[in-house]
Every structure is written in structure tokens, then in C-alpha cells.
Amino acid sequence: MEIRQAIHSEHAKQLDTQGLRDQFLIEKLFIPDQLKLVYSHLDRIILGGALPVDKAITIPKSLNQQTGTDYFLERRELGTINIGGPGSITVDGTRYAVGTHEALYIGKESRDVRFESDDPAKPATFYLCCAPAHQAYPTRKVKLEEASPQTLGDAANSNRRTIYKYLVPDVLPTCQLLMGMTRLEEGSLWNTMPCHIHDRRMEAYFYFDMAQDSLVFHMMGEPHETRHLVVRNRQAVLSPSWSLHSGVGTGSYTFIWAMLGENQTFSDMDHIAMADLR
């Protein structure tokens, strides 16, 4: 499993383009028929992808070497949103059908997890976020209609969007993982602007549904020391708690956000006045 160290903001601001990309960008998350995971020391989040095409993908036993536990989810919870075709996830013998843009929360102490696609021609594509957990909450599927929606922004500011909160306390209990998907309206290209930080939680953004030659300029850094990352389709960004996180696309895109940290209060954000951005 690839490891990313935590990084101080004073170090991050010295980095050049490649240095920033090495620290914060995850370029490849999906390898056919393999589980790809990246372990970050930012609140010990693990991000990953499972793209089952010709065979099922399972969580290998050897992963417990990284977690120092008997099995991977012994002290962890796992959230996933399927951005591909219809598929299923079998958790300790119970099969959950997981369609496009449906989420599955997999509780702590789940031992056997198996990802499958219904049709190899339209494979299910599971984006995964995994967090340390202290309590075994029930495994549960969440459909798009069950996610808690919040529409923000307007066309005049090119930031009209709906935030679908799938794994949040209003919908189901989790130990610390918060996860959802934000969809922009046609013509709106800015997410999360006006922007914010939240010192109490780290965050990860995963951009998808982008045209081949389309880019997102993902904004990061402390509000007075902003930087950007050029992000392509199906790439993820790690956002430490000191970093703002916002993006603008050269074309349409959707993204999945996930947060871990002190609290599960989505609205606990420190908004940054436009005048304070540098």
C-alpha cells in the first residue's frame, strides 16, 4: 500500500509543481481487477479504488500488516460510492446491489468484503474511503434519493451545485467518516467558492465524470498562500486541515468529498472572505 506522510504547511509552501503533486495528488486509483489503496497519515484516511471487471476483488489478508490488526476492518469503517455501472458488494455473506451513484457504508469488524460487477462491459467502479473506527455500526446502502441534499451558489457566480450528503449523521451513524458527492449544474464550473478551511477535519476530493481533455484546477494551501494542482478525470486530492479546497473546471465534472477528524458537523467551516485570499 502506498503511504503518504502528513505535511506541515510551512513545508508545503516551498514545494514546486511536482513536489505538490507528489504530496497531495493521487493520480491512479483504478486498476482492473485489483484493489488500489493509498494510506495517508492525515487522520489515517485510506483512499482507494476497486474496479472489478473479469473477476471479483476482495480485501487481501496481508493488509493487516499495515494496520497491525488481525484483519483490515477490525478497527476501521469503509465507505464507498459506485461511479460505474451496476455492481454488488458482499459483506460477510450478505450481498448488497450497489448501482451507479449509490453508496455502501461497511461497518467496523466486517471480515470478508467482495466487490463485483454485473456486466464486465460496464464495470462497477467503487471509490473507497476508509477511516479508523471505535464502534461497529451496521453496514447499510444509501441511494442518491436518501442522501441529504443541499443546493448552493448561483449561475451568475458559476457555482450552482447540489451537495448530496450520503454518509452523514442525518442519514446513518458512522464513527467519523463523512462522505458525499457534489454535482454542478450545467455551466457552473466552480466548486466550494467562496471557500473555507476546517482545522477540525481533513478532507479528500475525488474528481470524475470529466471529458478526456478536461482539467480541474484544484485550489489548495493556506488562504494567504494559495497553490493549485492540475487534476484529471478520476484523480483524488488530499487536503490537510490547514488547506482550503476548491476547484474550477475547464469542462463539467462531479466530485466526491470525504472528511475525517474531530467532529461530524458538516457546517463547522471557517469561511474565507474573498478579500483575504492571496
Ligand X SMILES: O=C(O)C(=O)C[C@H](O)C(=O)CO
Q: Binding site for Zn(2+): which residues?
A: 196, 198, 203, 245
User: Is 183 one of the binding residues for ligand X (CB under 6 A)?
Assistant: no
Binders of ligand X among residues 122 to 181 (CB under 6 A) are 152, 161, 163
- One-letter-per-residue 3-state SS of the chain: CEEECCCCHHHHCCCCHHHHHHHHEECCCCCECCEEEEEECCCCCEEEEEECCCCCEECCHHHHHHHCCCCHHHHEEEEEEECCCCEEEEECCEEEEECCCCEEEECCCCCCEEEEECCCCCCCCEEEEEEECCCCCCCEEECHHHCEEEEECCHHHCCCEEEEEEECCCCCCCCCCEEEEEEECCCCCEECCCCEECCCEEEEEEEECCCCCCCEEEEEEECCEEEEEEECCCEEEEECCCCCCEEEECCCCEEEEEEEECCCCCCCCEECCHHHCC
Q: Report the partner that residue 218 touches, choosing among Zn ion, ligand X, none (CB closer than 5 to 8 A by kind).
A: none
Which of ligand X, Zn ion, none sits in contact with 182, Cβ below 5 to 8 A by type? ligand X
Which residues are bridge partners to 201 per DSSP?
261
192 is a site residue for ligand X (CB under 6 A): yes
Question: Is residue 117 a contact residue for ligand X (CB under 6 A)?
Answer: no
Using rule CB under 6 A, residue 245 touches ligand X = yes
Residue 198 Cβ, how far from Zn ion at the closest point, in Å? Answer: 6
Nearer to Zn ion among residue 77 and residue 203 (C-beta): 203
163 makes contact, choosing from ligand X, Zn ion, none, with CB < 5 to 8 Å by partner type, with ligand X
For residue 215 the three cell numbers come to 482539467
CB-nearer residue toward Zn ion: 88 or 246? 246
First to last CA, the chain: 36
18-26, 38-46, 190-198, 208-216 -> range binding ligand X (CB under 6 A): 190-198
Closer residue to ligand X in complex, CB, 80/239: 239
- Which position has the grid cell 450545467? 186
Closer by beta carbon to ligand X, 89 or else 229: 229
Tell me if 191 contacts ligand X by CB under 6 A: yes
Binding site residues, as ranges? 196, 198, 203, 245
Instruction: CB nearer to ligand X: give 115 or 164.
Output: 164
Among 43, 102, 203, 222, indicate the residue that binds ligand X (CB under 6 A).
203
By the criterion CB under 6 A, which residues form the site for ligand X?
A: 152, 161, 163, 182, 191-192, 198, 203, 245, 257, 269
By the criterion CB under 5 A, which residues form the site for Zn ion?
A: 203
